[in-house]
Amino acid sequence: MGNLIRSHLARLMRAPVFWLAVAVSAGAGLCLGFIQAAGLVIFPPACCAVVFSLFFGPEHADGAIRNKLIAGHSRTEIYLSVLAVSILVMWLFLALASPRIIHTARFNTYGHYTPGQAALTIATVMLALAAVAAALTALCMLIHRRTVLALALVLLVLCGILLGAAVWTEIASYGSYSYLEIAEDAPSRLLERYDVDELLRLGLAQWVYVPAQKPPATLAFAGRLLPVVQALQALDRDTGVPMAWDAPLWSLGEMALVTALGLALFRRKDIK
């Protein structure tokens, strides 16, 4: 299988669409004034959808898969080699879209994370995107028409991002937050200047903390299923939503399930 992986990587190096995606990801990472959770989640899958549709799509039509089978490679080796390359490419685009990825957790949370929590955040994002790569791989290996494959990949990524953003917005509404409660007898001169420090010093205002609420079970379950939500929940700490410590397990489970299903269907597929 190692030879297949090296072959895929060598062909990628010669593909203009790959280098275009590399430039887009790197440009996004350089243009962002700070690390944004949305950029980390959106750019890698979007770039992979374009690259995979043009790179893996022709393998059915030009007989590359059939030639690999004739050369003695098993279908399992072929499938897993594509999966490995897909995950590596996804992580490459992730790193390029975030030059300071190692400091993502600390940067986005203003230092609120311990080193262990920061490591878990990075692992959560990487595994969530690996689950997306597994789904893209399944489509690449099962759809033999390039146009249909390109449409399927783009729709999967686009729908995943939009649905994930909608679910995350709803989940974030249950997060914790603080608001300033100002006394009714506060002088108008302070209110006009909105001098928060002075109001607090004089005892005319106080910060009120509203703890996070528990979202409905169906909403929480939907958040666990969607890789985009798993990544955003780990990255976007300003919402006051507690980190989902079991998110990496969900990503691993989804990756294993999608891979097992895709491999089973690929083994039955008629390779012409």
- CA trace torsion 139, 145, 149, 152 (10° rounding): -100
Residue 39 pLDDT class (50, 70, 90 cuts): low
Give residue 214's region: left, alpha or beta (phi > 0; psi -120 to 50).
beta
> What is the percent of the chain where pLDDT is above 90?
24
- Residue 131 has a pLDDT of 95
- Residue 105 has a pLDDT of 43
75 with 267: CB under 8 angstroms? yes
Domain ranges of the chain: 2-174+216-268, 177-210
- Residue 19 has a pLDDT of 92
Q: Residues 77-93: pLDDT tens digits?
A: 989 999 999 999 999 99
User: Does the pLDDT value for residue 104 go beyond 70?
Assistant: no
Average per-residue pLDDT for the chain: 81
49-63, 164-178, 253-267: range with highest mean pLDDT: 253-267
Residue 110 pLDDT class (50, 70, 90 cuts): very low
> What is the percent of the chain where pLDDT is above 70?
85
Q: Which residues contact 220 (CB under 8 A, 6 or more apart)?
A: 171, 214
Residue 194 pLDDT class (50, 70, 90 cuts): low
Residue 59 pLDDT class (50, 70, 90 cuts): low
21 with 47: CB under 8 angstroms? yes
- Residue 84 has a pLDDT of 94
What is the DSSP secondary-structure string of the chain? Answer: -HHHHHHHHHHHHT-HHHHHHHHHHHHHHHH-SS--HHHHHHHHHHHHHHHHHHHTTHHHHTTHHHHHHHTT--HHHHHHHHHHHHHHHHHHHHHHH-TTGGGHHHHHTTT-S-HHHHHHHHHHHHHHHHHHHHHHHHHHHH---HHHHHHHHHHHHHHHHHHHHHHHHHHHTTS-EEEEEE-TT--HHHHHHT-HHHHHHTTSEEEEEEPPPPPPHHHHHHHHH-HHHHHHHHH-GGG-PPP-TTHHHHHHHHHHHHHHHHHHHHHHS---
Between 36 and 102, residue with greater pLDDT: 36
20-29, 154-163, 191-200: range with highest mean pLDDT: 154-163
Between 173 and 130, residue with greater pLDDT: 130
Q: Residues 209-256: pLDDT tens digits?
A: 878 788 888 988 888 889 888 888 877 767 778 777 788 899 999 999
